[in-house]
Amino acid sequence: MAAISIAAALPASALAQGEITRIKRNPAAIILEAARVNAGADVMYVSGQLPSPLDPAMPMSEVTSLDQMGDTRQQTISTLARIQDVLATEGFTMADVVKLNVFVMADPRIGAMDFAGMNAGFREFFGTEANPNTTARSTFEVAGLVGPYFLIEIDAIAARAPQGSE
């Protein structure tokens, strides 16, 4: 908390170029309140990603039921794994993610949005031993996504200090 207060009190010119500041005043929260990305940081915007079928060998064109895609937790894990893969193509990791937008459909099998399931999937990627960072996040319940068997779509913004400046 003290580091956040000090950083907020400094003039912008005193902050390091490319610095990323994660603002989390409530240590028990699973998401950040905000993230500050100073000019000079490498930033990557990941378009909305959708989950893959539970069977990795199954083409999406052959999916005929929600059971083949999984519940909200499983779809969240699948979608975040896709984001992780996209980030890796440019040398970013999930620890570099500073913002997520999560779009969640109600699961027709339970008749409601499974927010707890989405959070359970989220917790497998953020606030872990492998990635102690978390991210700012907005979550929206939506009436529909691009296909009938999708319960989740997630887009991401990742930022890191420029390579060689650390």
Query: pLDDT tens-digit profile of 105-163?
Result: 999 999 999 999 999 999 999 999 999 999 999 999 999 999 999 999 999 999 999 87
Q: What is the pLDDT of residues 19-31, one digit of tens each?
A: 999 999 999 999 9
What percent of the chain is helix, strand and coil (3-state, nearest 5)?
25, 25, 45
Are 117 and 75 within 8 A, CB to CB? no
Of the candidates 153, 40, 51, 138, the one whose C-alpha atom is nearest the C-alpha of residue 98 is 138
How many other CB atoms are found less than 10 A from the CB of residue 119? 17
> What are the two backbone dihedrals, phi and then psi, of residue 89, each rounded to the nearest 5 degrees?
-60, -20
Give the relative orientation of helices 115-122 and 72-88 as an angle to the nearest 10 degrees.
40
Q: Is the pLDDT of residue 11 over 70?
A: no
Please tell me the pTM assigned to this model. 0.87
Interval 89-111 mean pLDDT: 97
Tell me what pLDDT residue 138 has: 98
